[in-house]
Amino acid sequence: MKHIVKIMTLLMAISALWIGLLQTSILPRSYTWLLPVYFVVSLGCYGLLMVGVGLMQFPTCPQEALLLQQDVVEAKEYLKQRGVDVGSS
């Protein structure tokens, strides 16, 4: 519940800032109407950046890879015993 309150507070603050900019003449009105679009595009770019950084820092797990390979070998042997063709290697 606390997370939704933070999100709603942030959205209300951004909306208040946007409405304030619409009411004043600090920025030209044509630019002010595009601010939500810029915000959404910026949020998308930030999301893509975070996914890219997460993929670059993805940890390697050699122990888990060995366990997975052992599970694959066991599964192939089990299927061969049951008469299923699992291919070569």
Residue in the structure block whose two tokens are 């309150």: 5
Residue 89 lies in a domain: no
- The answer on 66 and 26 residing in a single domain is no
- The answer on 75 and 56 residing in a single domain is yes
- The answer on 7 and 24 residing in a single domain is yes
Comparing 1 with 83, which gets the higher pLDDT?
A: 83
CB neighbourhood size of 27 (10 A): 13
Number of domains into which the chain is organized: 2
pLDDT digits (tens, 9 = 90+) for 17-39: 888 877 887 777 777 778 788 88
pLDDT digits (tens, 9 = 90+) for 3-13: 888 888 988 99
**Cα separation, 38 vs 34, whole angstroms:** 6
The parent domain of residue 9 ranges over: 1-32
Whether 13 and 7 have beta carbons less than 8 Å apart is answered as no
**First CA to last CA distance, the chain:** 53
Residue 88 lies in a domain: no
- The answer on 17 and 39 residing in a single domain is no
pLDDT value of residue 88: 63
- The answer on 60 and 27 residing in a single domain is no
